[in-house]
């Protein structure tokens, strides 16, 4: 499970539910939608952004894929990933408790600023459903709580974690 900042038009970002209605947007049972190839403009935008993103991400970042459908850049140790797919641009971070740091959120903010400046799109996060840069400290606090919850849940899903929780009282 990951936290993501989605880059959408300013008009869509101003809507009451800028990331869509979660219930209405559930996939149907008829299969996946057709994936569209990146347009020449989308590839040019990525090619312009790529050097700046590599500069902003911590050492160890590398390209995951460059296909007709998407471009991805990932930082291995944090799992931070920037994904560029047709009309679906995002920067995401897994809910690992180690990721709930000010440094990682500073990096995510810098990536968000770079993408917003280059594309004119607005980075809206999944927690506040508002512009990430306007609420980043609050989002970071909520992220930390969710990451701790995921860590506890994962620990309890293992036999050793379950046993440890029984004897920790």
pLDDT of residue 152: 77
Mean pLDDT of 68-78: 92
Residue 67 lies in a domain: yes
Mean pLDDT of 95-109: 89
The dihedral built from the CA positions of residue 83, 106, 96 and 145, taken in this order, carries a sign that is: negative
Mean pLDDT of 137-151: 88
Contact 17, 11 (CB under 8 A): no
DSSP 131: B
Residue 23 lies in a domain: no
Residue 46 lies in a domain: yes
CA distances from 135 to 16, 42, 79, 83 (A): 16, 28, 22, 22
The whole-angstrom distance between residue 110's C-alpha and the CA centroid of its chain comes to 13
Looking at every residue in the chain, the average pLDDT score rounds to 86
Mean pLDDT of 157-166: 59
The boundaries of the domain holding residue 98 are 2-13+36-167
pLDDT of residue 169: 46
Across the chain, which distance is largest between two alpha carbons, in Å? Answer: 59
Q: How many domains does the chain have?
A: 1
DSSP 132: G
Of residues 149 and 28, more confidence is placed in 149
Residue 108 lies in a domain: yes
Q: Does the pLDDT of residue 8 top 50, yes or no?
A: yes
């Amino acid at each position: 499970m990951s936290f993501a900042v989605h880059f959408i038009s300013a008009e869509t970002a101003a809507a009451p539910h800028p990331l869509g209605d979660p219930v209405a947007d559930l996939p149907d049972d008829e299969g996946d939608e057709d994936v569209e190839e990146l347009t020449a403009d989308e590839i040019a935008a990525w090619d312009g952004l790529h050097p700046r993103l590599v500069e902003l991400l911590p050492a160890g970042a590398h390209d995951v894929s460059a296909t007709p459908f998407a471009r991805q850049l990932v930082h291995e140790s944090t799992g931070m990933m920037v994904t560029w797919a047709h009309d679906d641009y995002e920067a995401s971070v897994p809910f690992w408790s180690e990721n709930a740091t000010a440094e990682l959120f500073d990096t995510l903010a810098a990536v968000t600023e770079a993408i917003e400046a280059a594309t004119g799109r607005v980075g809206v996060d999944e927690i506040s459903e508002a512009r990430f840069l306007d609420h980043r400290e609050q989002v970071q606090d909520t992220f930390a709580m969710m990451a701790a919850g995921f860590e506890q849940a994962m620990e309890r899903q293992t036999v050793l974690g379950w046993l440890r929780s029984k004897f920790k009282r």
